[in-house]
Structure 1
Amino acid sequence: MEKSLFSELKAIGVDEETAAHVQASLNGERFASKNDLLAMQKLIYEQSEKVMNGFTNLKSEISGVRTELKSEISDVRTEIGGMHRQYWITFGGLITTIISVFAVNWYYHL
């Protein structure tokens, strides 16, 4: 079981010396010394620092994605605005054509 603890500590990125100290400090047949406690504290500190760095990297990635998403949304809004204006221009042209056809038709029927 202790060898699996050592390998698990190595798998999460703990250096060999610290992993060996932690494995030795968890041995139930001997008392933990001050150095063993310091090794455990060092391990906890290193792992919490890695987690915080991971969160910082994740936060910067999320910030980049949000900026890119805002840019894409702005592009879509611009395109939709252009389509909206084009709709009203086409609608106005249609109404103008209908009115002019009715006006010409009315003039020749009088």
Structure 2
Amino acid sequence: MAGNEIDPNPVGALTTENRDSWANMIKYSKVNEESLEKISNSLFLVCLDDSSPVTREETGRELWHGDGKNRFFDKSMQFIVFENGKAGFNGEHSAMDATPTSRLCEFILEK
């Protein structure tokens, strides 16, 4: 996903679709199926983004969804690092409580 190249395999975009639809899409590629299984079995994701948001609004938008291709919306915890060194967190809240999640982010920032 470097530079302005078009990513031919924006796997994260699958998770923006209806779950039944994207479950069927996975079946078309054994490599995708294996890759998605590894992602699904991970505790969290680290998303390395090419963007460099400056304002709070830009940063919020990028953390929330970016371009939709470099997020995996079925994963509860995603740590996002931008090209300009800024970083943030995207969490699917139904699987976790905000207090320990906030503490985890604070711990990471302290290190």
Could you state the TM-score of these two structures normalised by the residue count of structure 2? 0.20
Higher helix content, 1 or 2:
1
Q: Relative contact order: is structure 1 or structure 2 higher (C-alpha 8 Å, sep ≥ 6)?
A: 2
Structure of larger gyration radius: 1
Could you state the TM-score of these two structures normalised by the residue count of structure 1? 0.20
